Amino acid sequence: MRFLGMVLSGALAFGGLWAAAAQAQSEGPLRIEITEGVIEPLPFALPVFEAETGDAGGLAAQISQVVSADLSGTGLFREIPANAFISQVSSFAAPVQYADWKAINAQALITGAVSVQGNQLAVKFRLYDVFSGAEMGDGLQFTGTTEGWRRMAHKVADAVYSRITGEGGYFDSRVVYVSETGGKDARQKRLALMDYDGANVQYLTDSSAIVLAPRFSPSGDRVLYTSYETGFPRIYVLDVGSVQRRELESQEGTMSFAPRFAPDGQNIVFSLSQGGNTDIWAMNVGGGGATRLTSAPSIETAPSFSPDGSQIVFESDRSGSQQLYIMPAGGGEAQRISFGPGRYGTPVWSPRGDLIAFTKQNSGRFHIGVMRTDGSEERLLTASFLDEGPTWAPNGRVIMFTRETQGEGGRSSLYSVDISGRNLRPVRTPEGGSDPSWSPLLQ
């Protein structure tokens, strides 16, 4: 399935607009405050969506399953099995028997209907606050092609998640990553694109050369990555829709890697190694020469912009070990922000701007952690033989990263974890996986 060119008109409301929905949710008592420490997952019932046309039954079942998996996968919601239901939802239009859902302790009820006309698909849903006995927000309808049915399921789940948590959704998003096969001394790597949940994997390059660390553009239309196809690490930009790639300008005799887009989608920062010394540079992705942002004999790498584009967080060993620093986007004096024991690398600024995720190496273990942008309130979310390379979900609530297992059979795979440290889970991919980069929420 192509990423671009898919017709999907979202938020065609039948009975209300997004604004009205947002208004309603703030008044409902059904609410998960996900800033709290430990929470009990909220039980929800999701009867299989009604098939409104004769041939919609299969998709209705699949869409229901994906909506349910999205919600359960957050660790914030728990699905009540259908065999516990007292009343069935025979029709999307029929009145809800709140008492029947209250009796099985369903706090949220999600009903839906699916219709198919040729290759056109329409999905509508309603969300009910069972204990208040009221609908939460207005019903919504999404239309698109049958091919894009998963995206519509993710949009339904995003709307439910948003209404109940008050946070932005993240299910209708994609992840570009490095797909891996072979042992540690014979590893084959190629770029792959998938839905956030591991579905619809598409390979973007072959594995004839090492590829590293793909990074989405702010609009999700392009990917920067490093490839060894010339024999030397160089930066490429790949158009996700056409899968055409182009090598960026580079200086002879240098190595360039660790690229990342600025929020404007035009400028990039990256590392350039010359004469053994690695510094951070910036350039326009269209060309026109590179500007040097750091100038020190130490290693400066892994730059990442603040969401407003005014600052860059990066790692440097100028103090004698890897630590995190923030400097103005145009270069200049940097402030060290990491001071705990061990080494800190691969900083990534949260899309909300409030936190920086990083890899920490201490006492032979690796951790994914987050800290505030001034370095305070450091919190380690994971621990293993080798965790590295965090990427943020579009809503800044979840982090995906690489976990590599130990020893001769060591293998890389993708994991995600909530920024509270809860809900650590593997993201299933057909092969091994590393270096994930989460897209923005799709449009």
First to last CA, the chain: 16
Of 107, 227, 301, 437, the residue at the interface with other proteins (CB under 8 A) is 301
Of 54, 276, 289, 341, the residue at the interface with other proteins (CB under 8 A) is 276
- Take residue 437 and report the two structure tokens written for it: 């980069």
Minimum gap (Å) between residue 180 Cβ and other proteins:
11
Minimum gap (Å) between residue 413 Cβ and other proteins:
15
- Take residue 375 and report the two structure tokens written for it: 């370095």
3-state secondary structure (DSSP) of residue 160: helix
Rounded distance between C-alpha atoms, residue 74 and residue 56, angstroms? 28
Of 50, 172, 431, 435, the residue at the interface with other proteins (CB under 8 A) is 435
* 156 binding other proteins? (CB under 8 A): no
Cβ atoms of 206 and 189 closer than 8 Å: no
Unique residue bearing structure tokens 């952690």 = 369
* 213 binding other proteins? (CB under 8 A): yes
Rounded distance between C-alpha atoms, residue 54 and residue 41, angstroms? 35
What is the pattern of x (binds other proteins, CB under 8 A) and - over residues 162-201?
---------------------xxx-x--------------
Q: Which residues contact 389 (CB under 8 A, 6 or more apart)?
A: 213, 346, 359, 401, 402, 434, 435, 436
Rounded distance between C-alpha atoms, residue 73 and residue 427, angstroms? 10
b/e map of 97-121 (b: 16 or more CB within 10 Å)?
Answer: ebebbeeeebbbbbbbbbbbeeeeb
Q: Which residues contact 368 (CB under 8 A, 6 or more apart)?
A: 357, 358, 359, 360, 380, 381, 382, 387, 388, 390, 399, 401, 417
Cβ atoms of 213 and 389 closer than 8 Å: yes
Rounded distance between C-alpha atoms, residue 240 and residue 236, angstroms? 12
What phi and psi values does residue 205 have, to the nearest 5 degrees? -140, 170
Rounded distance between C-alpha atoms, residue 121 and residue 8, angstroms? 9
Of 195, 315, 378, 418, the residue at the interface with other proteins (CB under 8 A) is 315
Stretch of 13-21, 119-127, 217-225, 229-237 contacting other proteins, by CB under 8 A? 229-237
For other proteins, the closer of residues 155 and 367 by Cβ is 367
Minimum gap (Å) between residue 408 Cβ and other proteins:
5
Minimum gap (Å) between residue 348 Cβ and other proteins:
12
Amino acid at residue number 188: Q
* 44 binding other proteins? (CB under 8 A): no
Minimum gap (Å) between residue 383 Cβ and other proteins:
15
- Take residue 26 and report the two structure tokens written for it: 């703030």
Stretch of 67-75, 143-151, 197-205, 297-305 contacting other proteins, by CB under 8 A? 297-305
Minimum gap (Å) between residue 83 Cβ and other proteins:
46
For other proteins, the closer of residues 139 and 345 by Cβ is 345
What is the pattern of x (binds other proteins, CB under 8 A) and - over residues 6-35?
------------------------------
* 277 binding other proteins? (CB under 8 A): yes
Give percent helix, percent strand, percent coil of the chain, each to the nearest 5: 10, 40, 45
Residues belonging to the chain: 443
For other proteins, the closer of residues 105 and 230 by Cβ is 230
For other proteins, the closer of residues 37 and 253 by Cβ is 253
Of 8, 61, 103, 255, the residue at the interface with other proteins (CB under 8 A) is 255
- Take residue 164 and report the two structure tokens written for it: 């109940």
- Judged by CB under 8 A, the number of residues near other proteins is 42
* 334 binding other proteins? (CB under 8 A): no
Of 143, 162, 227, 271, the residue at the interface with other proteins (CB under 8 A) is 271
Minimum gap (Å) between residue 257 Cβ and other proteins:
5
- Take residue 122 and report the two structure tokens written for it: 């329409």
Cβ atoms of 228 and 188 closer than 8 Å: no
Minimum gap (Å) between residue 341 Cβ and other proteins:
16
Cβ atoms of 254 and 243 closer than 8 Å: no
Instruction: Report the interface residues with other proteins, using CB under 8 A.
Output: 183-185, 187, 210, 212-213, 228, 231-233, 253, 255, 257-258, 271, 273, 275-278, 299, 301-302, 315, 317, 322, 345-346, 359, 361, 364, 385-386, 388-389, 404, 406-408, 410, 435
